[in-house]
Structure 1
Amino acid sequence: MSDSYVAAKIREAVAAAEGSRARAQRILLTWAQTDDRLLRGLAAPFMKAIVTGAVERATRPVRNGASGGQQQLSPEALDLVLAKLASREGGPPPARSASAGPTGGDTARGIVLGTLNPAPATKAGDRHVQTMKALAALYKRRRGD
């Protein structure tokens, strides 16, 4: 495949799009659907990664019940992991709530029980307050108030 052909088509798409990158991309995608030479020239630098990804997906074992490719721990396995972590840190394992559901946490607040989430902030720190005041003053000056 000729790199000059692909480069010429890219320049042509940018010119047709009047400098708009988004429009040039749409034009190139449309042309690549009917122009095999352009498609191969565009995809050639990425072919090894495309093939590697396809082989990985094809040979990956299927996991039943796991969402998003992540394995889920059973409650017993989670308790075991937490106990081992606590014994390394010298403290008691974090308590898990029986009413927390299968994920073991309150996802609406972004807290997952069974992990070492930091306590949510109850008051803004001094640096945060100073930063917010400085931003407000800058915004006020820009608006001309």
Structure 2
Amino acid sequence: MTFSESVDLAVNGTLMRGLELNPNLLNVGATFVRETTTAPIYRLWSIGDRHPAMLRVTTGGRAIALEIWSVPVTGVCQILQQEPPGLSIGKVILADDAVVLGVLGEPFLCEHQLEITEWGGWRVYTQAIALPQDI
């Protein structure tokens, strides 16, 4: 068994490129790898329109857009400590069946929040709500 100096991390919200918490990745030396989606077994909630929370489910799931980042192992803990309460690191199954570490929400966090699974991702949702509404 060999020790890797970095680990792939799937992010689905404000850690993504150009968003509010992306500097948390950059500050630990993480590098962007690629855009992809999860396997269609996740649902997504907007937590007060501040950040999303993604949960793995047994029914009603969909593929959720995310980014994969290569993160130095020593930086993973620092990133997690800077995440909003109720978010954690767990295993995420990607569309190609690869399993990577990723940011997930705890179920309590999603209670009484707006489900945004139909949008397929945080970036699409936030762009959609920023659009002017037809009157």
TM above 0.5, yes or no, is no
More helix by share: 1
Q: Quick one: higher RCO (CA 8 Å, sep 6+), 1 or 2?
A: 2
TM-score of the superposition, structure 1-length normalised? Answer: 0.18
More strand by share: 2
Structure with higher Rg: it is 1
